[in-house]
Every structure is written in structure tokens, then in C-alpha cells.
Structure 1
């Protein structure tokens, strides 16, 4: 059986480790308890968080016990960002987001069995902690010169950083110490952008408890140009279907760049590494089929939203471009797909024509351009070529009595809702 560290390495999931040989020995000797934490600074987790949840699941599947921490206290402060001071959310908002995220993370790890995950909240051990005890028992272990040397802190010094954000590292380090004491936790995982916080926790456990514990960080996931992965033109790709529809989620993956799709398959799916290698070979030979992207989108959407939503998103993706029947799409899926494609609303009382719709959606710059597209045979409504530019979009032209899919040529897609 492949050692879990070998699998993580093969998938490109290890950026840093405090002591790889010692960690391997402990993982081999017997099941260990590890933790990964998430701060509720938004009502949902996003793609970057997904990588951490899937890494936790890989360790759990290898027999190790996860502690999934949702930071009810650290979320009230927020990890400092180079861009500037965070806006603090109210205690009520943070508490609401804690519960939403606790529900969300429980979908990705097993909550029963020998390696059952435990959900924890750091508010449990900080809410009753006095300032004096915190400074005496925790603060004394943190040399200020080391805190000032942290990259994010040094970047903020000139513009200014509050004592609140400056002290965040103490709170996150306290989490590791408390989880070590309460649950025997000996490994923290996280993103490489958290490496300073994670290793500070390792050092605190050594100083305060006299114990040696481990840290492991995954790499920052980027696009081919080096920018952070997980952002689209419409913003952050969230795991919550109310914030990013399953169709939009699917699209964010199927648009993966050729040079990165193999990397994403290894990191974000459970497809065996040798099978991914075969997919990469197939993709290199026939890139136009986009087999690797379609597999990636289907796998990750299934993990996050379930097989039914993944199938619906895949069907919608094909149907919009004429490769499947639009009438097979549920209205919720069709509506989400068209809203993602920039659909606009038109009033039925205005008797909108094909030309009106093409101009309203931006598929044509003017009515004359829209008429020209129709005349040249490049205008489609619901995947049917349009020959009459004055065709009114109503009745039989509307799917579910409301929607029309517009296409100009092979790839330019939009839509309208008529009500």
C-alpha cells in the first residue's frame, strides 16, 4: 500500500514539512491525530479551503484522525493581510458563519468509524481566558523580534498594523497547544501562506508542553501566469451553492488551462495518479477534446455538490452549445447557466425580437449587426438557426415559459429571461 506521504508527494501537495522523516515514522507507527483550521471570515469556504479539506480526507482515509477547527475566536480578528487591516465582523455574524462552515466541512470528512473526525471551535478555550493568563502563559513564549520579522507584518509596518492583527499568531498557536493537550494532536496542516503561523504553533507546543509536533503545508495553487487560482471574472469560487451555482462551479474547472489541468487533477481529485498520467497523455495528443478538463470538472463538482448536480452541470455545459437537448435541463440549472453567461431580463409587454435580445445581451453591437448575423446564418435561439430577425421571443420560443438561449456563431453564448 502506498504511504500517505508518498501519495501527497506524488500529487504535489507538500510544499513544507518541519521534519519529513520524523513525520513519516509517526504516521507509520500508528494512527495520529492532526488538525486543520478555518476562520469564518465569510459565510462559505472557497476553492483554496477545499484543498485543505481534501488533504485532511486523504490523511483520514489512511487511518489518521482529523480535528477540523472552525475559529470562532480567530474569526473575530482575522489573519493579517498585506493589503491592509481587515474589517471586523460582529460576534453575531461570526457565530452564524461558524455554524454554516461547520455544516459545510462535515461534508468532506467522515464523522464516524475508527478515524472519525471531530469538529472543534477555538472559542471554547479562549472565551473564558483572562488577559493576564493569556499574556503570562502564552505571550511570554513569543519574542517580539520574531513576530516583527514575519513577512506579512514587516510588509504592514510602514502603513501600520493594529495590535489586534499583530497578535493573531498567538491565538492560532494557542489552538495547536490546546489541541495537543486535549486530543493528543501532533500534526497541523494548512496552506503555505500559513507556514509562519503553523510553525509558531509547533514552537509554542515545544516551549509550553515540552513536546515535539509536526507541521505540513500544501503549496499555493496558481494559474499558469502565477496568479492565485480560485478567482473568476465574477469573483471568488465558493463551495456554497447559493454563492456559486453548481454550474458556475463546474465551469470554473472545465476552463482550466492545458498546462495546469494535470496538476489540478492530482491535487483536487481522488483519481489515481497513474490514471491522471494517462489522461495527460490523451490530452496532449487530442487537446481539442478537453478530456482532462471534463474529467476534472466532473470529479470536483461531484465531490462538492454531488453526482446529480455534476451531471446536470455537464449536461447544461453541452446543451448550451448544441451538444445536448436544452429541454432536458431543469429550470434551476438552465437559469444558473444563463445567468453565468450574462443573461438579461426583457419585458414580455415589449414583444422583444431576436434582434432586440442580441443587442440587449451584447452579442451584437447594434440592431444592424444583429440583423447581419441572422442574414449570415450565425444567429441561434435555443440552438436553432434563426432566419427571421423580427421573430418575437414568446410562447414556443421560451424554455420553461421564460428562458431563451442565444448563440452567435459557435462560441458566443448569452440568454434572456422574458417575463
Structure 2
């Protein structure tokens, strides 16, 4: 079996690493305990987290033990990385709820049976810390001058960096120290935007424990133009099917740019690299075959084979001109609503095709909305009983977003 380091490198995950030769040797000679942190700032993981879960899964498949660290404590402060303004302060109750959602979702991707992986929450050790003792044990090892050169702080200096946020790096570093002491955790992994935080943590462990520990970051999920992936018309691309339906999730990957197909296949599926390269090399119309494989494989990992098949069949029904598949997303409206008439802008929001009425108005004005394959030209258009075809209608935004509207009662 290949060293997992070589697998991650070949598939394009690795961005930065603290000691490449030592890490490669370590991963080939023993089963290593490593951790990745997830701050519960929402009630669902999104596709950016999914890339981290894929790294975790590859590591576990090669015999290494993951620690999934839920940041119930660090979320009380908020990571300033990549933020122009201070994060919204969340209540303990909200953080607890989000943490519970994260734990359920992560368990779908990682095997926690028989001590093959560990899930912990840093609120267990951060929330009851004695602040003076913490400063004496941890704060003494962090240079303010050096911290201010870190990108996560540098970018905030103009607008103002609060002392609350300034503590985040110390808290994350302390996580590594606790996990090293308790579970012999030797590596911290994370997105490349976490490089400064990871360096702070491994230096703290070395200073306090005199042990060699290591850090590795992986590439952020971006397009070939360098733009962040995972943004949809309705917001983030969530892993929770209630927030992003399996069909919408499938369609996102089915519609990625031709230039991004091979990279997404390598990062977000378990397909062998020879298949990834073959599919990625397809050109012109045949690249759609690769996109279909990508969409199916990613949806299967996140939502299961049954949902992936449903999404695939729905997409094929729409693009094949059939438009009758039961797997197309549907929304119910009452007969009384139709008899009174419902504005097309209200229907677009109700169907989830636009996040707001103002966005719905723009979509209509730009000629991007159709009802039963007829373009809607006015945002004041009232949808009524006359629009029904066999007790339903097909609402469309853009070329590839469809929702079936059905009469209920």
C-alpha cells in the first residue's frame, strides 16, 4: 500500500508541511494520531469542510487515527482568519446545537468504532480554564511581535483587531498541547489558511513537552481562476440535505467549469488516479461524461448511493427533455393560492430558486425565469390555474435549475 503522504500529494491535497521528510517517514513507519478542528459556526458542515473530511478519510484508510475536534470552546471567541470584521458572537446554546449537528455529520464519513477515531470538544477544557494559570503556562510562549506578522492578524490590523480574537491562536495552540498529552497526537492538519495557527500550536507542544510534532495544510477548494468554490445562488453548498438538497448538490458539481473537473475528481472522490486523469483529459462535449461521474461520486459520498441515483435520474430526465421525473425537486402550493393568483417572485422564493424577492425580480428582469418552458417577462406576473399542465407546472431559473410546482388540495 502506498504511503498516505504520497497519496495526498498525488491527488493535490498538500499545500504546506513543516518537515516533509520526517512526516513521510513517520506516516510510513507507524500509525499516527492526528487532528483536524471544526469550529461550529453554523448548523451544518459545508463543502469546504468536506475536503478536510476527505483528507481525514484517506488518513484513516491507511491506518492512522483521526481526532475530530469540535471547537465548542474556540467558537466562543471566533477565528479572525480570512475575516475583515469580527465574527458574530454566538450564544452557548447556539454553539452547543451546532456542535451536535457537526458530530452527527462527521460520523457519516469517519469510522469511530473500536477506537479507530476520536471525537472531542474543546469546550471540555477551554471553558473552565483559570485565565492567570493559562497565561503563565501558554501565553508566556507566544511572541506578540511574531503573532502580528501572521496573515490572519495582519489583514485585520487596519480595521482593528480585538483582544478577544487575539487569544484565538493561543487557544488553538493549547488544543494541540491537550491532545498531545492525552492521546499522543503528533500532527495537526487543516486548510492552508490555518498555517499560522498550526505553527503556533506545534511550537507550544515542543516548548512545553520537548516532543517533535508536525503540521500540514491542504489546498483550499478553489476554481482554476482562484475563486472559492461552494457558493451557490442560495448561499453556501451545505452537506445537510435540508439546507442543500441532494439534487442541488449534484447539479453544482455537474456544472463546474471544464478546467476544474480533474482537480475536483482528485480531491473529492476516491476514484483511482488513472480514472481521474482519463476523465479529466476528455474534451469538448465528452467532458460532460466526466462531470456526470464527478457529480454522482461526490453526491454518493455525502448523501448515499440512493440519493445520488435519484439526483442523476432527475438531471437526465430534465436534460433529456422529459421533465417528468419524480426525482426533480418539488414544492406544493394550495389550490386556493392558485385561484387567488401567486406572484412569480413569491413562487421563485417559495420554490427555493431565489433567496429573496429582490433576487427573484432581478432574475425575471434578466430573462432567466421560465414557467412550463415559456419565458416570464414581468415580475408582476400572477401564476394561476391556467398555468397548470396535468395539475403541475415546471418552474425554471437559468438553464439548469428546475422545481416542479404541484397543487396540494
| Corresponding residue to 2:390 among 381, 385, 397 | 397
Q: Does 1:82 align with 2:83?
A: yes
Please tell me whether Structure 1 or Structure 2 has the larger radius of gyration of its CA atoms: 1
Q: Contact (CA 8 Å) 1:37, 1:69: kept in 2 or not?
A: yes
Cα displacement (A) at 1:351: 7.5
Instruction: Write the distance in 2 (CA, Å) between the matches of 1:243 and 1:253.
Output: 16
Instruction: Write the distance in 1 (CA, Å) between the matches of 2:194 and 2:33.
Output: 20
Q: Contact (CA 8 Å) 2:32, 2:65: kept in 1 or not?
A: yes
SS at match of 2:259: coil
Q: Contact (CA 8 Å) 2:330, 2:405: kept in 1 or not?
A: no
| Corresponding residue to 2:309 among 299, 308, 311 | 311
SS at match of 1:15: strand
**What's 2:247 paired with?**
247
Cα displacement (A) at 1:243: 1.1
Q: Contact (CA 8 Å) 1:351, 1:393: kept in 2 or not?
A: no
Gaps of 5+ in 1: 381-389
**What's 1:149 paired with?**
149
Cα displacement string for residues 62-102 of structure 1 (whole angstroms, at most 9, x for unaligned residues): 00011110011001111004311111100111011111111
SS at match of 2:45: coil
Instruction: Write the distance in 1 (CA, Å) between the matches of 2:150 and 2:254.
Output: 37
Q: Contact (CA 8 Å) 2:250, 2:312: kept in 1 or not?
A: yes
Cα displacement string for residues 148-198 of structure 1 (whole angstroms, at most 9, x for unaligned residues): 111121221221111010110000000101000000000111000001101
Q: Does 1:320 align with 2:315?
A: no
Q: Are residues 409 and 172 of structure 1, via their aligned partners in 2, closer, same or farther at CA, if it must alter by over 3 Å?
A: closer
Instruction: Write the distance in 2 (CA, Å) between the matches of 1:152 and 1:5.
Output: 27
Instruction: Write the distance in 1 (CA, Å) between the matches of 2:401 and 2:107.
Output: 39
Matches within 5 A, 1:188-337: 188-281=188-281, 283-284=282-283, 286-288=284-286, 290-323=288-321, 326=324, 328-330=325-327, 333-335=328-330
Cα displacement (A) at 1:40: 0.5
Q: Are residues 241 and 319 of structure 1, via their aligned partners in 2, closer, same or farther at CA, if it must alter by over 3 Å?
A: same
Q: Which moved more, 1:54-63 or 1:74-83?
A: 74-83
SS at match of 2:55: helix
Q: Are residues 73 and 404 of structure 1, via their aligned partners in 2, closer, same or farther at CA, if it must alter by over 3 Å?
A: same
Cα displacement (A) at 1:201: 0.6
Matches within 5 A, 1:336-375: 347-350=337-340
Q: Contact (CA 8 Å) 2:330, 2:404: kept in 1 or not?
A: no
Q: Contact (CA 8 Å) 1:173, 1:198: kept in 2 or not?
A: yes
Cα displacement (A) at 1:253: 0.9
Q: Contact (CA 8 Å) 1:195, 1:217: kept in 2 or not?
A: yes
**What's 2:351 paired with?**
none
Gaps of 5+ in 2: 349-356, 376-383
Instruction: Write the distance in 1 (CA, Å) between the matches of 2:118 and 2:238.
Output: 23
What TM-score comes out, normalization by structure 1 length? 0.83
What TM-score comes out, normalization by structure 2 length? 0.85
SS at match of 2:34: strand
Cα displacement string for residues 30-51 of structure 1 (whole angstroms, at most 9, x for unaligned residues): 1111111100111111111110
Instruction: Write the distance in 2 (CA, Å) between the matches of 1:410 and 1:162.
Output: 45
Q: Contact (CA 8 Å) 2:338, 2:385: kept in 1 or not?
A: no
Instruction: Write the distance in 1 (CA, Å) between the matches of 2:52 and 2:397.
Output: 41
Q: Contact (CA 8 Å) 2:192, 2:219: kept in 1 or not?
A: yes
Q: Are residues 410 and 235 of structure 1, via their aligned partners in 2, closer, same or farther at CA, if it must alter by over 3 Å?
A: closer
Instruction: Write the distance in 1 (CA, Å) between the matches of 2:201 and 2:396.
Output: 55
Alignment root-mean-square deviation, CA: 3.2
Cα displacement string for residues 303-324 of structure 1 (whole angstroms, at most 9, x for unaligned residues): 1111111111111112223455
Say how many residue pairs are matched. 384
